[in-house]
Structure 1
């Protein structure tokens, strides 16, 4: 997943990469790269984005992978973001615009999704962090609490996930794996 480089990558160098068909993130000068997620991951992302899109209040927008600046030379690409500035048209969004950041755990990104990204998101003061584990599936939504996150709701399979803050959301994680015929 790491790209060989001699010097730390700057944000300007990151932006100059342009669209390559792969996901690139830069964290403190280290370029991380990987191919697009598998179909199950994308199915979960699409279903969850639809559920969120119906639930978010006016003034918010749900987007799939975006370039998100957590700090200088620290740009990540969350699987899903809920922005408080809808309709923007820029290459990189700032953490101050994000109400919720959601990651879907993949084998190749598990340590990033479970450990590094929540820590970086908390440091950047993103109010809510969501984690989806495809096996189950399990959805956990946590709220910023001091320097980290505390779980506010969690559900697996057919259990209903009932979220009240930052907006009401009610669905079953099992529905995220549903396929259409």
Structure 2
């Protein structure tokens, strides 16, 4: 993410209704009404995304939950009149309640969100998203850091995230019992 941008010079606060009106080939996220243009993903980012998508997708075949990859809007706090002002596009997310899926977005908290850190991501942005996901009730949230070859896993328990960091081995997916993601499966494909 490259920082806030002005889509309409006269506005400083945008809603999902505004967002739907933008005719652009660029991707944006809204955070508290501020528009952020998203940077194009790197090759390593896409390799990790594809590896995770395949692993989750294979496990979920024939099961009620479904995995999605960006770009797809996630409206964590949707309002019927589209006045909500936070719209994110996580790299991957899993939805088990299909009533949250509309034609163009996920309307409500996904069960699991995975963000792959890019050089353009700021600590402030990562913390902001962490808090959004916590407030919305995302049950499991991963932050994949290709530079440090780590995965932070945050599991929602009693209104707070319980966190751990993985560097090797397999990551058990708490919302999908029986699924473990081999962390080396995407590090080995991505030489530094």
TM band (smaller chain): 0.7 to 0.9
Tell me whether 112-121 or 70-79 shows the greater mean CA deviation. Answer: 112-121
The alignment status of 1:105 with 2:117, answered yes or no, reads yes
Counterpart mapping for 1:23-38 below 5 A: 23-38=27-42
Looking at structure 2, the residues matched to 53 and 112 of structure 1 have their Cα atoms a distance apart, in angstroms, of 31
Gaps of 5+ in 2: 78-83
Asked if structure 2 preserves the Cα contact closer than 8 Å seen for 1:82 and 1:99, the reply is yes
Residue equivalent to 2:186: 176
Aligned to 2:174: 165
2:140 corresponds to:
128
- TM-score, normalised by the number of residues in structure 1: 0.85
Check if 1:14 corresponds to 2:28: no
Stretch of structure 1 that moved more, 139-148 or 62-71: 139-148
Q: Compute the TM-score of the two structures, normalised by the length of structure 2.
A: 0.80
Q: CA deviation at 1:84?
A: 1.3
Q: Distance in 2 between matches of 1:26 and 1:70?
A: 11
- The alpha-carbon distance between structure 1 residues 133 and 126, as it changes in their structure 2 partners (threshold 3 A), is same
Query: Would you say 1:141 and 2:153 are equivalent positions?
Result: yes
Q: Deviations over 1:127-165 (max 9, x none)?
A: 1111101024212221113443112x5321xx2123152
RMSD of aligned Cα (Å): 2.2
Q: Which residue is equivalent to 1:90?
A: 103
> Which of the residues 151, 157, 165 maps onto 1:154?
165
CA contact (8 A) 1:104 1:113 kept: no
Equivalent of 2:73 in 63, 67, 71? 67
Q: Larger strand proportion, structure 1 or 2?
A: 1
Residue 54 of structure 1, CA deviation: 2.3
What number of residue pairs does the alignment pair up? Answer: 174
Runs of 4 or more, structure 1, over 6 Å off, are none
Between stretches 105-114 and 130-139, larger displacement belongs to 105-114
